[in-house]
Chain A
Amino acid sequence: MKKTILYILLGLFVCTNLFAQDEESADVVEKDKPVRFAWESGMLIDQQTSHIPTVKTLEMVIQHKFGSIDNGSSDLWGIYAPAGNIRLGLNYVVANNVQIGWGISKRNMYNDFNAKWTIFEQTRKNQVPVFVTVYANAAIDGMNRDDVELFNFEEPGQKFDYKFNNRLSYFAQLIIGRKVTNALSVQGAVSFSHANFVPQWHDHDRVGLHFNGRLKVSPQGAIIFNYDVPLQIDGISEQHPDWNSTNTPGWDGPYHPEPNLSFGYEVSTSTHAFQIYMGNSPAMLLQDMMINNNTGIDFDNFAIGFTITRLWSF
Chain B
Amino acid sequence: MKKYRNLLTLSVVVFVGSLLLSFVTVQDQKDPAPWDVPEKYVKMENPYAGDESLDRVGKILYIKHCRSCHGNNGEGDGPKAASMKTKIHSMTAEAFKKQSDGVIYYQSIIGRDEMPNYESKIPDEEDRWALVNYIKTLK
The 8 listed contacts between A and B (C-beta, < 8 Å) are A36-B124, A53-B120, A54-B120, A54-B121, A219-B63, A220-B63, A270-B65, A313-B120
B60 touching A219 by the CB < 8 A rule? yes
Q: In whole angstroms, how far apart are the Cα atoms of A149 and B127 in the complex? A: 60
Q: Which residues of A contact B68 (CB under 8 A)?
A: 269-270
CB 8 Å contact bits of A90-119 with B (1 = contact, 0 = none): 000000000000000000000000000000
CB nearest to B124 among chain A residues: A33
B123 an interface residue at 8 Å Cβ cutoff?
yes
Query: A37-B60, A219-B59 are known contacts. Are A57 and B120 too (CB-CB below 8 A)?
Result: yes
CB nearest to A54 among chain B residues: B120
Number of interface residues of A (CB under 8 A): 17
A219 touching B121 by the CB < 8 A rule? no
- Chain B positions 4-32 with a Cβ under 8 Å from a chain A Cβ: none
B64 touching A220 by the CB < 8 A rule? yes
Q: How far is the CB of A106 from chain B (nearest CB, A)?
A: 31
Q: Which residues of B contact A54 (CB under 8 A)?
A: 120-121, 123
A269 touching B121 by the CB < 8 A rule? no
Main secondary structure of the interface of B (DSSP, over half): helix
- Chain A residues within 8 Å of B, Cβ to Cβ: 33, 36-37, 53-57, 182, 219-220, 268-271, 311, 313
Can you name 14 extra interface pairs (CB under 8 A) apart from A56-B120, A269-B64?
Answer: A33-B124, A36-B57, A36-B124, A53-B120, A54-B120, A54-B121, A55-B120, A219-B59, A219-B60, A219-B64, A220-B64, A270-B64, A311-B121, A313-B121
Q: In whole angstroms, how far apart are the Cα atoms of A49 and B117 in the complex? A: 26
Q: How far is the CB of B1 from chain A (nearest CB, A)?
A: 44
CB nearest to B66 among chain A residues: A270
CB nearest to A55 among chain B residues: B120
Q: In whole angstroms, how far apart are the Cα atoms of A279 and B89 in the complex? A: 45
Q: Which residues of A contact B64 (CB under 8 A)?
A: 219-220, 268-270
Q: In whole angstroms, how far apart are the Cα atoms of A37 and B57 in the complex? A: 9
Q: In whole angstroms, how far apart are the Cα atoms of A36 and B131 in the complex? A: 14
Name, among B56, B59, B120, B124, the residue most crowded by chain A CB atoms within 10 Å (CB to CB): B120
CB nearest to B126 among chain A residues: A33
CB 8 Å contact bits of B101-139 with A (1 = contact, 0 = none): 000000000000000010011011011000000000000
B57 touching A270 by the CB < 8 A rule? no
Q: How far is the CB of A207 from chain B (nearest CB, A)?
A: 37
Q: Which residues of A contact B59 (CB under 8 A)?
A: 219
Q: Which 10 residue pairs spanning A and B have beta carbons closest together?
A: A313-B120, A270-B65, A219-B63, A54-B120, A54-B123, A270-B64, A219-B60, A220-B63, A270-B121, A37-B60
